[in-house]
Structures are given as structure tokens and as C-alpha cells.
């Protein structure tokens, strides 16, 4: 009498080995994509550094004198967009004041470069952004680490535009943080279908119980997916979720 079927166990083992192989292949692919993104980012940093070293955007005295009164616009339902191969770049000091913005950053914001320099970067923050996301961002970069996040910005005329932002600290030769560097790309439309309603729920939670309540929602989501925040954002952007 047979108490077990050898074919059954053989097939189950084969399925398990196939799953392991698929997971390893995905991990290698994700690592390769991260490496390619890092190379592109370093090249972009070199190009933007050359631009930001010009007198137009680098003179600290000019930055200090450029602070003008900025009135926060009333948000509208009109959206601004940019091409998938276009990149927004901005830099701030350690306090979050803008020290540099590339041409596309200035154009989409709707402000002039003179209006932007020296102003807090949150001047373009849209009220639809949950406070939790920016707390997580500042908590991370102030510790010398980089972070990715989906952000909706507010232009001078009240229009909005979504970005997929990568924010990293800038260091001096002694390893001290001297500012922050942000590169923004076009967000994955499929990811925004998930992010937009989730941000709405986070804001509702914050209206009731502040960041404490929105944090609980984010933790619940991460636990349900079995991943941390950086992995979730990366997988959303590159259709790996």
C-alpha cells in the first residue's frame, strides 16, 4: 500500500525551486535597475553642479537678498505635466531654503528664479500632501540617508503637478551635511492610482488624530505588503508590486 505519492512531492519540490529562482531573478533585476539609476543620478549631479556653480544661482549674498514676500496661491483643479525624459532638480541648505533650481524646476513652479532663491522649499508644497510623508522625508535625510517619495506640488498659479522625488543629503569633505539635493522624475501613472486615494486617507486620519493616526495607517499598509517604505515606493514606480 502506498502512503504517499512520489510524483506529488517531486512536483511540489519543482514548484518551490521555480519560485526561488523567480525571486532571485527579480532581486537581481531590481539591483541592476537601482545601479543604473544611481549611475544616471551621479552623471546628472555632475552636470547640474556645473550649472549651479555659475554666479546666477550660487552667490550666497544674492540668495539672502532674494527673499521676497510670496503669497500662497489658492489650489485649482488644473494639472501641469512634463515629459517622461525630463528631470526637475533643486538644492537647499540644511534649513530647507532653496539655493538652486534647474530650468524645468523654475518653469513648473511658475515663479521666477529670483522669487525662488532663499525661500523655504515648502513654498511649493500642495495642501493635499499628508504631513506624515514630509516628516518621514526629513527624518530620513537628516540622518544622512536618501529617500524616494511621491509628491504633489503647488505652482504659483494654483495648478498642481505630481513628481517622483529622490532626495539625498549633500556632504562636505568631513562628512557633515551641508544641504539637500532633489531629483524628480515623472511618476508612474499606475502608481498614482494607488497613491492618490491612500494620501487622501492619510489626510483624513491626520484631521482626526494628527500624524499619530496617519502613521498607523502607513504601518498597516506596509505590514500587509510585507515590506518597508523604500521598497514599497520603488516597486510602485517600477511596476513590481
Q: How far apart are CA 79 and CA 158, in angstroms?
A: 9
Q: Is the dihedral of CA 94, 97, 103, 109 positive or negative?
A: positive
Specify the pLDDT at position 71: 82
* Helix count and strand count (H, E) for the chain: 8, 5
Specify the pLDDT at position 240: 81
CA distances, 118 to each of 95, 154, 205 (Å): 10, 18, 33
Q: How far apart are CA 98 and CA 179, in angstroms?
A: 10
Report the Cα 240 to chain-centroid distance in Å: 17
Q: How far apart are CA 74 and CA 158, in angstroms?
A: 5
In a domain, 225, yes or no: yes
Number of domains in the chain: 1
**In which domain, by residue range, is 202 found?**
51-237
Mean pLDDT by 10 residues, the chain (241 residues): 47 60 60 62 59 43 54 94 96 96 97 94 96 96 96 98 97 95 96 97 97 97 94 92 72
In a domain, 2, yes or no: no
In a domain, 162, yes or no: yes
In a domain, 27, yes or no: no
Q: Which three cell numbers stand for residue 164?
A: 517622483
pTM score, whole prediction: 0.74
Specify the pLDDT at position 214: 97
Specify the pLDDT at position 51: 53
CATH number of the domain residue 219 falls in:
3.30.450.20
In a domain, 181, yes or no: yes
Amino acid at each position: 500500500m502506498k502512503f504517499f505519492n512520489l510524483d506529488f512531492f517531486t512536483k511540489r519540490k519543482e514548484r518551490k525551486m521555480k519560485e526561488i529562482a523567480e525571486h532571485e531573478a527579480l532581486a537581481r533585476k531590481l539591483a541592476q535597475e537601482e545601479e543604473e539609476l544611481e549611475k544616471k543620478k551621479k552623471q546628472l549631479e555632475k552636470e547640474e553642479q556645473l550649472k549651479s556653480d555659475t554666479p546666477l544661482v550660487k552667490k550666497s549674498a544674492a540668495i539672502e537678498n532674494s527673499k521676497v514676500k510670496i503669497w500662497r496661491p489658492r489650489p485649482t483643479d488644473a494639472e501641469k505635466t512634463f515629459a517622461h525624459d525630463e528631470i526637475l532638480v533643486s538644492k537647499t541648505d540644511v534649513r530647507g531654503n532653496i539655493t538652486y533650481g534647474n530650468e524645468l524646476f523654475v518653469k513648473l513652479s511658475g515663479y521666477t528664479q529670483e522669487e525662488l532663491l532663499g525661500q523655504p522649499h515648502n513654498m511649493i508644497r500642495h495642501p493635499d500632501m499628508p504631513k506624515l510623508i514630509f516628516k518621514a522625508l526629513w527624518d530620513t535625510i537628516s540622518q544622512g540617508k536618501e529617500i524616494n517619495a511621491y509628491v504633489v506640488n503647488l505652482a504659483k498659479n494654483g495648478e498642481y503637478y505630481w513628481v517622483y522625488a529622490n532626495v539625498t543629503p549633500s556632504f562636505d569633505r568631513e562628512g557633515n551635511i551641508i544641504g539637500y539635493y532633489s531629483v524628480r522624475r515623472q511618476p508612474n501613472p499606475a502608481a498614482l492610482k494607488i497613491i492618490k486615494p491612500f494620501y487622501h486617507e492619510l489626510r483624513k486620519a491626520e484631521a482626526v488624530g494628527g500624524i499619530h493616526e496617519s502613521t498607523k495607517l502607513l504601518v498597516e499598509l506596509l505590514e500587509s505588503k510585507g515590506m518597508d517604505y523604500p521598497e514599497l515606493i520603488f516597486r510602485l514606480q517600477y511596476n513590481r508590486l
